[in-house]
Chain A
């Protein structure tokens, strides 16, 4: 009885005594990403964003008075994600987890994190289903697939339609998408939003692993659309664009969602054919400072640390997501997921608060509704932000949509 009565105060005393010791210990954060395999390029790129954010935070004294140490856990599929999380928590003693380039990895990794009572802070994976699950340890600071669909349709209605000078009912849109959950979920949402705007698009899907996509291009060409709107991965987008070039398929406007904005596509297709093609992607470092304050500083930090330009825009989105996580941890004064999620839910920052132009406001599924992708455009071999207008850097403009 005496023992039980003393247990509470004793535990509190122990916690107080232990606090300085804990403050001395580094805060270990697990990073779950594909660091091997075909997606390693982007897993590495995202993690560079985390590394810069951690380094900058450490220079200011860390978080909760503790220096941040990142520990990598490589996962190329759901099974490996579970193993990586178990290892990060069990062996490496991480207190928080963050990721992920791939939805399937995030899905499995976050459930494994919940089994270990750890927070899983998602910065990049897109599928809306991730937040719809309602996992109590999961939230997403970056845009979801619906926001990509929404931004692409905004681009269609505010950028493409006025330039094509056609009423909605006459606008012919061909929606092409790769047939996994990623492409399908975005295409279905695009279809819904376009129908709301009085446009009835045609949908067509393809396998991202197909050896030949001539049929997809010939079908689209036969439909003679005003806009060809495609969601896919790097390899299938490159093959689609090469086939379009080969088949002389040059509709008045083309828009790619998700990929198509890196040197890989530029090398595969060439700048002449790419000129004018619109892209819906994560905000890039060239956004105007009024839209994304600090984007230029991030670019300089990246160049200084890695001696080259960012490979893909995912890095800056990961960087911002990691910063938001650290702010939530600091506000929670804890790494326990319940407290961090509660602190994140209380955050309220307007659009334009971060380098990507993101703000912070989580909805009830813990999706940050103030994280929005941008519409950019290939212009003479360079990708430039073109929508919304406030994201356009000084001196920037929208090229003719018609292929030059």
Chain B
């Protein structure tokens, strides 16, 4: 029983990491209707941003956040305006463009770092809490709390603010939103900026857990796709809950079956969900297609 509780705890904490990485990805899909393959690279850049903050200014990654989040918002807005907006009438090309961006970012970081595995120290990175024989790393708890705060904060923003309502309006019906006076291009830019900032947030918070490598973004993006499909494409709540579903599945399969099989199990579930319910657990039917969509 103690084993099960320990594994479930590990799964929930891992779910927090996946949720953190996936919320921004799902927001971008829900509004702009593109699968952003470069989202994992934005997470990776967040990690290297935290490293740069430490290496040059001796900043703790949790302090670097204050500087990096606005920078990532701006970076996302610029990427949307310069790369994606010109392809607005060619959705397939937008997807290829994000893939090109993935390769560009990864290879630039490779060239700069030459593959050295950097680490970002933080006073809390070695701290752990033991309770009834269960060990929990403080950095993972912080990531879980941040994922929850990001999901709740984003939900409140989308429901209770004018920009949030405008984003939802664009997500539901781009044409109707335009007729109501919403500047759709501006909303796209803001949404991509928010999604990128969320990736930067994830990168900063995960930096004390991992050794940094230029490929680490790709390692995150594959489970993140499973998360958004399971949770529901375009649903913030779905990304949050989907993170825990994938995290728990991975932890249980890895512990009770075989660590080498855990990704096979996750993507087995992924394929099953695509067959049975293409819109995911919290997505509305048709959400996976371009068209009407409500943000939850």
Q: Which segment of B2-10, B84-92, B180-188 sits at the interface?
A: B2-10
Chain B residue with the shortest CB-CB distance to A211: B219
Contact B111 A215 (CB under 8 A): no
CB distance from B11 to the nearest CB of A (A): 9
Chain A contact-residue range equals 35 or more
Residue B239 interfacial (CB < 8 Å): no
Interface size on B, residues (CB 8 A): 41
Could you tell me which residues of chain B, from 106 to 155, have a CB within 8 Å of some CB in chain A? Answer: 110-111, 114-119, 121, 126, 128, 130, 135, 137, 140
Residue A87 interfacial (CB < 8 Å): no
Interface digits, A144-187 against B, CB 8 Å rule (1 contact, 0 not)?
Answer: 00000000000000000000000000000000000100000000
Q: Which segment of B252-260, B271-279, B286-294 sits at the interface?
A: B252-260
Contact B254 A216 (CB under 8 A): yes
Contact A40 B110 (CB under 8 A): yes
- Name A's interface SS: helix
Residue B220 interfacial (CB < 8 Å): yes
Residue A118 interfacial (CB < 8 Å): no
* A401 vs B218: C-alpha distance when bound (angstroms): 37
Contact A246 B119 (CB under 8 A): no
**Which residues of the other chain, B, contact A3 by a CB distance below 8 angstroms?**
none
Contact B17 A246 (CB under 8 A): no
Given contacts A215-B251, A218-B7, A238-B211, contact A267 B118 (CB under 8 A): yes
Residue B263 interfacial (CB < 8 Å): yes
Residue A307 interfacial (CB < 8 Å): no
**Which residues of the other chain, B, contact A38 by a CB distance below 8 angstroms?**
110, 115, 213-215
CB distance from B147 to the nearest CB of A (A): 14
Residue A400 interfacial (CB < 8 Å): no
Residue B60 interfacial (CB < 8 Å): no
CB distance from B285 to the nearest CB of A (A): 31
Residue B30 interfacial (CB < 8 Å): no
* A353 vs B263: C-alpha distance when bound (angstroms): 48
* A310 vs B105: C-alpha distance when bound (angstroms): 29
CB distance from A112 to the nearest CB of B (A): 24
**Which residues of the other chain, B, contact A222 by a CB distance below 8 angstroms?**
3
Residue B14 interfacial (CB < 8 Å): yes
Could you tell me which residues of chain A, from 228 to 273, have a CB within 8 Å of some CB in chain B? Answer: 234-235, 238-239, 242, 245-248, 264, 267-268, 270
Contact A247 B117 (CB under 8 A): no
Residue B96 interfacial (CB < 8 Å): no
Could you tell me which residues of chain B, from 46 to 67, have a CB within 8 Å of some CB in chain A? Answer: none
Residue B262 interfacial (CB < 8 Å): yes
Contact A248 B135 (CB under 8 A): yes
Contact A248 B259 (CB under 8 A): no
Chain A residue with the shortest CB-CB distance to B109: A38
Contact A40 B115 (CB under 8 A): yes
Which residue of B223, B251, B259 has the most chain A CB atoms within 10 A of its CB atom?
B259
* A27 vs B104: C-alpha distance when bound (angstroms): 38
Contact A267 B219 (CB under 8 A): no
**Which residues of the other chain, B, contact A1 by a CB distance below 8 angstroms?**
none
From B6, B121, B262, A218 is in contact (CB under 8 Å) with B6
**Which residues of the other chain, B, contact A37 by a CB distance below 8 angstroms?**
110, 115
**Which residues of the other chain, B, contact A200 by a CB distance below 8 angstroms?**
none
* A179 vs B264: C-alpha distance when bound (angstroms): 14
Which residues of A pack against B, CB within 8 Å? 36-42, 44, 179, 204-207, 209-216, 218-219, 222, 234-235, 238-239, 242, 245-248, 264, 267-268, 270
- A and B contact pairs by CB, cutoff 8 A, 29 listed: A36-B110, A37-B115, A38-B110, A41-B116, A42-B115, A204-B258, A205-B259, A205-B260, A207-B260, A209-B219, A210-B219, A211-B223, A212-B17, A212-B254, A214-B14, A214-B254, A215-B10, A215-B250, A215-B262, A234-B117, A235-B211, A235-B213, A238-B210, A246-B128, A246-B135, A248-B130, A248-B135, A264-B118, A264-B211
Nearest 10 CB-CB pairs, A to B? A215-B254, A38-B115, A246-B137, A238-B211, A268-B119, A264-B117, A214-B10, A267-B119, A40-B114, A215-B255
